[in-house]
Amino acid sequence: MPTTTFETSRADRRKGRRRRRATLGLLSAFAVALGGLALGVAGSAVTAPSASALAKIKCKQTTGTAKVDPIRTHNMPVSNMQHLHEFFGNNHFLSLSNPNAANYSDLVGQGTNCVNPADTAGYWVPALSYKSTGALVPVQAFTAYYRSWDFQKTGDGVPLPEDVRLIATQHDWTCGQFESTAPSQSIPDCSSANGSPGSTLTAHIDFPSCWDGVEPNHSSTEVGDTNDNKHFAYRVGSGCPAGFPIKTVALRETIQYDYQGRGDDLVLSSDSMMGTSDGQSLHADFWNAWTTAGMASMVKNCVNPGGNPTAAECG
C-alpha cells in the first residue's frame, strides 16, 4: 500500500528526533572531552615547563663605552686604534684602570646592571653612531636570550663553561619584531617604525652552541686574543658538526636602538676597521662571568625541560 503523507511526516519526525539525540550525544561527549582536556592542561601547568621556555635576561642601559676589548686585546694598553664598544651586564669592567687587563677573578660575582643578579657576565658590541655628528644612537633595551642549543625555545643544553670568551659574527638587523622588514645584514630602512618597543631598529647576534669539551684555561699574563671560538662551532642542520659533540645553551644578544630613520645615516665603530659599511661588521663579545651556581640554575629552570621557571630568574 502506498505510504500516506501523514505516515511519511511521522517517519520524518522520528528520524529527526533520532538525529537530534545523536547530535546532543556527540556534543555532550565533546564537552566532556574538552573538560577533561582543560583539566589536564590546568593540572599540567602547575608542574610542566612553559612551551616557550627560555631565559630572557634584560640588562639596563649600557654600563659605559670605551675603546677597549678585553678579549681580543687582552693585557694590551688602551689605544685609539681600537674601535669603540658599548658594554652591558658586568659593571666592573670600566672601573678598572685598564679594562683590557681584566681577569675572570675581577669579574665573576661583581656588580651587574642585569635584572638577574647572578648574571655578572660581560657583554659588549661595537658602538652605533650618526655619520654626520658622531653622536651615539641611544640604546633602548639590551636583552640576553638563553635558549636551547638549536636556537629553539625549548630543549636541552649544558651551561656555557666558566670563563669562556666568545666573539659572535652571525647577525642580522631588523626594525623590531612587530615590523614586517626582513632580516638584513645591513642596517635597514626603519622610517616606518613608530619607535615603541618592538618597533625600532634592532640588532641580533647569535653565538655558537656546539662545543668540543675543552675547558677554558686562561692565565692572567696572556697577551692578545684570548677568545675560545676555536673550541666552538655553530650547529649544522639539525645537529652539531664533527668534533663538537657537546650541546650548550644558545646565546643571542639583542639590542634595540632608539632610531626610526632610513639607516643610511648610521655607522658602526667597527665598519671601517673591518672594511665594510652600513652595519655589516656587526658582532658581539661575551665573557662568561656568571656566578657558576647562577648559570646552572638558570639553564635548569629556564631552558631545559622539567625546571621551575620564575620571572625573577628567567625574565
237-246: average pLDDT: 94
Residue 106 falls within a domain, yes or no?
yes
User: Each residue of 25-59: pLDDT tens digit?
Assistant: 433 333 333 233 222 322 222 233 344 579 999 99
Q: What is the rounded distance in angstroms from the CA atom of residue 219 to the CA atom of residue 222?
A: 6
Residue 24 falls within a domain, yes or no?
no
Q: What is the pLDDT of residue 82?
A: 80
- Per the structure, the count of domains in the chain is 1
Residue 196 falls within a domain, yes or no?
yes
The residue range of the domain holding 114 is 55-210+223-314
Q: What is the rounded distance in angstroms from the CA atom of residue 289 to the CA atom of residue 91?
A: 12
- The confidence band for 80, taking pLDDT boundaries of 50, 70 and 90, is low
Which residues have C-beta within 8 Å of that of residue 284, sequence separation ≥ 6? 123, 124, 125, 167, 168, 171, 205, 207, 253
- Whether residue 64 has pLDDT greater than 70: yes
Instruction: Tell me the CB-side half-sphere exposure of residue 206, using CA atoms within 13 A.
Output: 20
Q: What is the pLDDT of residue 81?
A: 65
Residue 4 falls within a domain, yes or no?
no
- Whether residue 129 has pLDDT greater than 60: yes
Query: In angstroms, what is the C-alpha Rg of the chain?
Result: 27
Which residues have C-beta within 8 Å of that of residue 251, sequence separation ≥ 6? 144, 145, 146, 160, 168, 206, 207, 209, 286
Residue 232 falls within a domain, yes or no?
yes
Residue 8 falls within a domain, yes or no?
no
Q: What is the rounded distance in angstroms from the CA atom of residue 7 to the CA atom of residue 20?
A: 20
Average pLDDT, the chain: 84
pLDDT greater at residue 13 or residue 37: 13
pLDDT greater at residue 238 or residue 158: 158
User: Each residue of 165-208: pLDDT tens digit?
Assistant: 999 999 999 999 999 889 999 999 999 999 998 999 999 999 99
